[in-house]
Amino acid sequence: MIIFPAIDIIGGQCVRLVRGDYATASKVAEDPLETAKKFEAAGAEWIHMVDLDGAKAGYPVNTEIYENIAKHTHLKVEVGGGIRTPETIRAYLDLGITRVILGSAALKNPQLVADAVRQFGADRIVVGIDAKNEMVAAEGWLETSNVHYIDLAKEMIKAGVKTFIFTDISKDGTLSGVSTEQLRKLRDAVGDQCNIVASGGVHTIEDIRICRELGLYGTIAGKSLYQGTLDLSEAIREADSIVIRPMTIADYDAAYAIWTACQNGLNNLDDSREGIAKYLARNPNTSFVAEENGVAAGVILCGHDGRRGYIQHMSVDPAYRRRGIAKRLLERALAALKAEGIHKAALVAFKKNAGGNAFWEAQGFTLREDLNYRNLTLTEMTRIDPDYL
């Protein structure tokens, strides 16, 4: 489960509200960028940001702040508030924002949501569902509709949405605990079709445990971090529901499904059940599966010939991306190779896999253009890392 530390902005200042009431806005930190850097130092990989001015105005107001954080930290930034058009979505993504949150637009302009998912991808679009007494609110929570929050979630799933942020406005900014029952109802209704992020009411580490036990994708923490009732580093450790364990042939069907979902290059011989069984028999200790609540989220198939390690497949299910799973799988495999006396590893990947190749380069692999394998033009990536050696 991901912990999303939150920064809400009014007039360029970091603030928090109580139950969405703008009149309760209180300053909680001096500088947005420095606050984001502190969150990053505590171990956060994401940051949740809301343009409260934009939510009320209906268009972005504090854009420069979000751009600055995206440029000067390694945090993945998600932003909401005042996003009403495809042009605004594109502008934010072009600034380095990882994904945008559509709130009022989901209620008032569902076609925009469907178009945005189709144009930018489901991993770049989040729908925020904010509810008062289980009815969806909009326009900076200044209006309440007659639409039930679960009904809106179901409609948005039909539009292709994969990630929701659910806020019980009665809980927001109150430190009164998460809205367990409403979150459970949402999970039971649609949790097998989407990622759910809890927002509102987080107070102590117990709220993090509750959300983790509910099997949620993430939890947003704001006021609790600023008032010191929740320690971010502890929350991140407590929230970690991803387990990395050795791969066995019993994982074959799940692994094959992930490879297929990722459009990996497969062949009928080496990647058959029999082929993978032989691979694992030769190298039983160097391949791993990442799973959450018993569901496979990623897999790395890694072996060696006694001299050099080979990463045959490394994939993360698209539904679990942007959670650091690929890096953790790689680190575990490299550590396993090192334990067997292997200090050099290579990966064979399709040259066209630009996104995947960028990941490997970021981990310290270098590209070579001179490998040809089974009449396919491929790229070999070789890691030479002093710390690894």
Mark whether 106 and 175 lie in a shared domain.
yes
What's the Cα-to-Cα distance from 47 to each of 5, 20, 112, 283, 360, rounded to whole Å? Answer: 5, 19, 24, 39, 24
- The tens digit of pLDDT for each residue in 20-59 reads 677 888 888 889 999 999 999 999 999 999 999 998 888 9
Q: Which residues contact 363 (CB under 8 A, 6 or more apart)?
A: 327, 330, 383
User: Do 331 and 274 reside in the same domain of the chain?
Assistant: yes
Angle at 76 between CA 71 and CA 78, to 5 degrees: 100
Rg (alpha carbons) of the chain, rounded to whole number: 22
267 and 227 inside one domain: no
**321-360 burial: b if 16+ Cβ within 10 Å, else e:** ebbbbbebbbebbbebbeeeebeebebbbeeebeebbebb
Q: Which residues pair with 53 in a beta bridge?
A: none
Which is the catalytic residue, given 8, 53, 271, 317? 8
Residue 140 has pLDDT above 60, yes or no: no
Domain-embedded: residue 388: no
DSSP state, residue 35:
H
51, 53, 130, 271: the active-site residue: 130
Q: Flag whether pLDDT at 119 surpasses 60.
A: yes
Question: Are residues 269 and 252 part of one domain?
Answer: yes
- Per the annotation, the verdict on 123 as an active-site residue is no
Is the pLDDT at 372 greater than 90, yes or no? no
Domain of 164 in residue numbering reads as: 2-239
Domain identity same for 221 and 296: no
Which tens digits make up the pLDDT trace of 157-215?
A: 999 999 999 998 877 667 788 889 999 999 999 988 899 999 988 999 999 999 988 88
Same domain, 209 and 263: no
In a domain, 150, yes or no: yes
Which two structure tokens, joined as six digits, stand for 134? 């289980």
Say if residue 155 is in the same domain as residue 7.
yes
Domain count of the chain?
A: 2
Burial of 139 (C-beta count, 10 Å sphere; 0-12/13-18/19+):
middle
Domain contains 78? yes
299 part of a folded domain: yes
Same structural domain for residues 233 and 281?
no
| CATH number, residue 80 | 3.20.20.70
Q: For residue 327, what are the contacts with CB-CB under 8 A and spacing of at least 6?
A: 363
pLDDT of residue 368: 56
Asked if residue 127 is part of any domain, the answer here is yes
Q: Which of 204, 239, 274 is the last residue of a domain?
A: 239
| Same-domain pairing of 105 and 232 | yes
Tens digit of pLDDT for each residue in 315-358?
888 878 767 788 889 889 988 988 998 887 776 554 545 555 66
> Where a domain ends, among 209, 239, 269?
239
* Domain annotation covers residue 195: yes
Same domain, 274 and 362: yes
Assign residue 293 the CATH number of its domain: 3.40.630.30
Percent of the chain, pLDDT > 90?
Answer: 52
- The residue count of the chain comes to 389
Residues 6+ apart with CB under 8 A from 361: 367, 381
For residue range 273-307, what is the model confidence (pLDDT) as tens digits?
999 999 999 999 999 999 987 889 999 999 998 88
**Tens digit of pLDDT for each residue in 149-158?**
999 999 999 9
Q: Looking at the structure, do residues 137 and 181 belong to the same domain, yes or no?
A: yes
Q: Are residues 158 and 35 in the same domain?
A: yes
Please tell me whether residue 223 adopts helix, strand or coil conformation: helix
* Residue 51 annotated to the active site: no
End position of a domain, from candidates 239, 261, 293? 239
- The verdict on residue 139 lying in a domain is yes
Residue 389 lies in a domain: no
Residues 122 and 120: their CA atoms lie apart, in Å, by 7
